């Protein structure tokens, strides 16, 4: 929300090119809210900020089938991030970069239950939910709208 007028190297600019206009915050409160909550979500899941690759803690999936589509045309991807630590909840992330909605199957173990935490296609404030407002999924499929990301988390408990 801060254009640099096409300048990709403004570090030496001491003018409007690099100054932050804090008046924009009033007009972009929803974006500010979203990023604050995303930072909080990231901090609450240690694996998301891990300095090492997830290796055995991640399982990759396709949208409607368990196999990942590795073709150049692929625009969907899902993954299950499992942290054996009891303090951290598992996450299931679905990404749809296509211009049409896609129906994703949730390929984690069938006995696992999930709550919707993030759906970037929804309007604020339903796009990113607080832990006490997460919505339980009723089935193992989720319609992921075009150009959006869904984050599911295991219920607390």
pLDDT tens per residue across span 74-117: 999 999 999 887 778 899 999 999 999 999 999 988 788 999 99
CA–CA distance, 122 with 134 (Å, rounded to integer): 14
CA–CA distance, 153 with 157 (Å, rounded to integer): 12
Instruction: Give the count of domains, the chain.
Output: 1
- Within 13 A of 131's CA, how many CA atoms are on the CB side? 11
The CATH number covering residue 78 comes to 2.60.40.1180
Enclosing domain of residue 36: 21-153
Q: Predicted confidence band at 23 (pLDDT cuts at 50, 70, 90)?
A: confident
31 is a domain residue: yes
Tokens of 84: 């054996």
CA–CA distance, 145 with 152 (Å, rounded to integer): 15
pLDDT tens per residue across span 5-16: 787 787 788 888
């Amino acid at each position: 929300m801060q254009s640099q007028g096409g300048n990709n190297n403004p570090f030496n600019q001491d003018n409007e090119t690099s100054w932050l206009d804090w008046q924009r915050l009033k007009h972009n409160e929803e974006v500010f809210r979203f990023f604050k909550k995303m930072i909080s979500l990231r901090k609450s899941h240690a694996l998301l900020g891990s300095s090492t690759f997830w290796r055995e803690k991640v399982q990759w999936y396709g949208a409607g089938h368990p196999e990942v589509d590795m073709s150049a045309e692929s625009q969907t991807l899902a993954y299950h991030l499992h942290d054996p630590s009891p303090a951290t909840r598992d996450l299931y992330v679905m990404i749809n970069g296509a211009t049409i909605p896609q129906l994703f199957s949730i390929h984690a173990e069938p006995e696992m239950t999930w709550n919707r935490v993030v759906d970037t296609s929804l309007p604020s404030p339903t796009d990113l939910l607080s832990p006490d407002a997460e919505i339980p999924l009723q089935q193992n499929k989720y319609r992921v709208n075009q150009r959006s990301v869904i984050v599911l988390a295991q219920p607390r408990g």
